[in-house]
Amino acid sequence: MSLSSLSPAVDRYLPPGGLDGMLEARAALGSLVTALESVADPRRREARQYSLASMLALLVLATLAGCRSLRSAVAWAGDLAPAVVLGLGFGRGRLPVRSTLAGAMAGLDMAVVAEVMTAWLTDRLAATTGEGLVEEPLMHVAVDGKALRGARHDRRAKDGAPPMQLAVFAPDPGVVLATAEVDPRTGKGGEGAAVQVALDQVGSISGWVITGDAAHTTRATASYLRARGAHYVLAVKANRSLLQAEVAEIPWDQVPVTVRTSATLHGRVESRAYQVVEITTPAGVPGGGLSLPGARQAIRVTATRRHSAGGPASTTVLFYVTSLGPERATFAQIAHMIRTRWGIENRLHWIRDVVFDEDRHTTRRANTTRLWTLLRSTAISLIHLAGLPVTTTTQACYRQPERTFALVR
């Protein structure tokens, strides 16, 4: 097929042989651009010189290449081949300048953009694994909030606190499934309400197992998860004094160790012993169940750490409760979820801070902060889905932009 028979209007903007490159770009970016086309464009009709979906797709590619600002994204895009620019949907092979991108992004409803992007990622995760995200097998999902330390755009925040965002994250393979803003006036305590806002974006969470720190160990969160068919494994600490007392009163010295694990990391050896007790007596009965709705089992984890080079060992005792009964998950599965819930720290938060330098991203507009947080999370998720290391992949995409196609195809 000749280029002129396909689209005479673009003939002058492509070098000889450029049609194949344009078609490759369109094939790779088709699902992403199509998904983003559902985002309403807030600009006046006469200001829509460039497609909003194309501009958002361009920023996704630029973030995959490690760009951290609109300025660096525009500079990187300037080196794209004309075929790629046309494949992105930019007519005449011309790219928007920084001010055009900034103006278009400023009026966006970022909650809608985030919902569209995470839904697209969820579909890709289902396609990659060959399974749905509900029912069998159980899917482990961690929740945690992160302060965006460089940003400041809410004068109501206590002591000039930075904005916070909560992520719903599947540690394996490492995909962000939903996000929600955390009210900076409440700090860490606001994460419980944000969890429900984030999970409300997901059609079904049946079969999900939510893990989180003690900030999420509340009656409201437990009731919400069970009502939607999800399970939980939640930490128990002093901020839930009644529940902590109930768990601590269990005669753990009479409970056998069900799982033992050992790992060497960062020059230290950590051994963990897991004890699990099924709660069979209803709550409210003297000597009966736990005060957290749906609690089926209590877990005690005794962690012993010692340096590989020797020296004294340190021991920490941790408590958890779960709505999973022994018929729904094995002891080994529960232990694995407790251990891997930290994946949200080292596979998401740490990468956003170290690779993308998020904590030094000094934004002052809420939409700008939300946009770049979403772009970073999307880029990290796409790279994890491909099973690639994040740092070297962003570097390779910066040098060879066409490598981004394989990540979004």
**Residue 5: band (very low, low, confident or very high) from pLDDT cuts 50, 70, 90:** very low
| CA distance to 174, 202, 211, per residue, from 226 (Å) | 24, 15, 13
Residue 29, both tokens:
């970016």
Q: Provide the token pair at 136.
A: 């069998």
Residue ranges of domains in the chain: 3-108+388-408, 112-352
What separation in angstroms does the CA of 32 have from each of 5, 23, 54, 61? 26, 15, 9, 11
Higher pLDDT: 81 or 54? It is 54
3-state secondary structure of 131: coil
Q: What angle do CA 282, 287, 293 make, to 5 degrees?
A: 35
Burial 369-401 (b: 16+ CB within 10 A, else e): bbbbbbbbbbbbbbbbbeebebeebbebbbeeb
Q: Sorting pLDDT into bands at 50, 70 and 90, what band is 260?
A: very high
* Spatial contact of 186 and 354, defined as CB atoms under 8 Å apart: no
Q: What is the mean pLDDT of residues 321-349?
A: 93
Summary mean pLDDT of the chain: 84
> Which of 216, 249, 215, 248 lies closest to 232 in space, CA to CA?
216
Instruction: Give me the pLDDT at residue 360, please.
Output: 80
**132 pLDDT higher than 60:** no
* Mean pLDDT (whole number) for 97-119: 91
At residue 328, does pLDDT exceed 70? yes
Between 130 and 186, the more confident residue is 186
DSSP bridge pairs for 263: 270
Rg (CA), the chain: 24
- What pairing do the DSSP bridges indicate for beta strands 257-265 and 231-236? unpaired
pLDDT in tens, 12-49: 433 444 445 545 666 667 788 889 999 999 989 888 88
Q: Is the pLDDT of residue 279 over 60?
A: yes
What is the Cα–Cα distance from 177 to 124, expressed in whole angstroms?
11
Which tokens sit at 44? 């006046």
In order, the DSSP letters of 67-87 are --SHHHHHHHHTTS-HHHHHH
CB 348 within 8 A of CB 335: no
Of 32, 33, 4, 24, the residue nearest 84 (C-alpha): 24
pLDDT at residue 153, rounded to an integer = 60
Residue 4 has pLDDT above 70, yes or no: no
167-207 pLDDT tens trace: 999 998 899 999 998 887 777 778 888 999 999 988 889 99
What residues does 233 pair with on adjacent strands? 211, 322
pLDDT for the residue numbered 21 = 53
pLDDT beyond 60 at 61: yes
User: Which structure tokens are listed for 103?
Assistant: 């103006």
- What contacts 68, CB < 8 A, 6 or more positions away? 356, 357, 361, 372
| pLDDT greater than 90 at residue 94 | no
pLDDT single digits (tens) 308-321: 777 788 999 999 99
Nearest to 122 by CA among 165, 180, 78, 170: 170
CATH dotted code for 112-352: 3.90.350.10
- Helix (H) or strand (E) run with residue 154 in it: none
What band does 129 get if pLDDT is binned at 50, 70 and 90?
low
- Confidence tier at 140 by pLDDT (50, 70, 90): very high
Range ranked top by mean pLDDT from 1-5, 114-118, 259-263, 375-379: 375-379
CA proximity to 93, closest of 6, 10, 3? 10
Token code pair at residue 51: 């497609």
Query: Per residue in 209-223, pLDDT tens?
Result: 999 999 999 999 999
pTM equals 0.85
pLDDT at 100: 93
| Dihedral-angle region of residue 392 (phi above 0 means left; psi in -120 to 50 means alpha; beta otherwise) | alpha
Using 50, 70 and 90 to split pLDDT, how confident is the model at 238?
A: very high
Contact 240, 247 (CB under 8 A): no
Position 7 scores a pLDDT of 43
Alpha-carbon distance of 195 to 164, in angstroms, equals 13
Q: Are 306 and 265 in contact (CB under 8 A)?
A: no
